[in-house]
Amino acid sequence: MEPISAPRQPISLAKALASFTEQWSPRIVTTVNDYDVRVAKVAGEHLWHAHDHTDEFFLVLDGELHIGLREPAGERTVVLPKGSVFTVPRGIEHKPYARVPTEILVLEPSGTLSVGDRHEEVPDHVDTTTGHTLA
């Protein structure tokens, strides 16, 4: 039996992002080995959460993403303008938020919950998911 592989056609991130309107509700555009490549539209606040067993990679496609971090040395915020990347190390509590509508690409192991392994109460506007398939 042949292993399942990524589609053999290019995927337009613009078309993928245009296919949905929900905020904080990532869509899986492809997989790389055991990792999902997800795109999401974000605005406002996510929630404080941590991924105990994996780092989380962010790429800002459009807009500007802020990520609050609770590190051993204290709290700080990183600001990611369009075209920037940042990796949140495993185990670090973080809270993404966007003051303006923003589009992001996230890379994390398949099956990873969008709200991490530990989190505060999930607000109604945040989708608790391992990623939705594209329509």
Asked whether residue 125 is assigned to any structural domain, the reply reads no
Q: What is the model's pLDDT at position 135?
A: 76
Q: How many Å apart are CA 25 and CA 15, to the nearest integer?
A: 16
Asked whether residue 117 is assigned to any structural domain, the reply reads no
Longest dimension (CA), the chain: 51
Q: pLDDT per residue over 74-117, tens digit each?
A: 999 999 999 999 999 999 999 999 999 999 999 999 999 888 88
Asked whether residue 53 is assigned to any structural domain, the reply reads yes
Q: How many Å apart are CA 129 and CA 107, to the nearest integer?
A: 14
Q: How many Å apart are CA 109 and CA 32, to the nearest integer?
A: 9
CA 75, distance to chain mean position in Å, is: 20
Which residues span the domain enclosing 73? 28-111
Residue 4 has pLDDT above 60, yes or no: no
Asked whether residue 49 is assigned to any structural domain, the reply reads yes
Mean pLDDT of the region 108-132: 87
Asked whether residue 87 is assigned to any structural domain, the reply reads yes
Asked whether residue 135 is assigned to any structural domain, the reply reads no
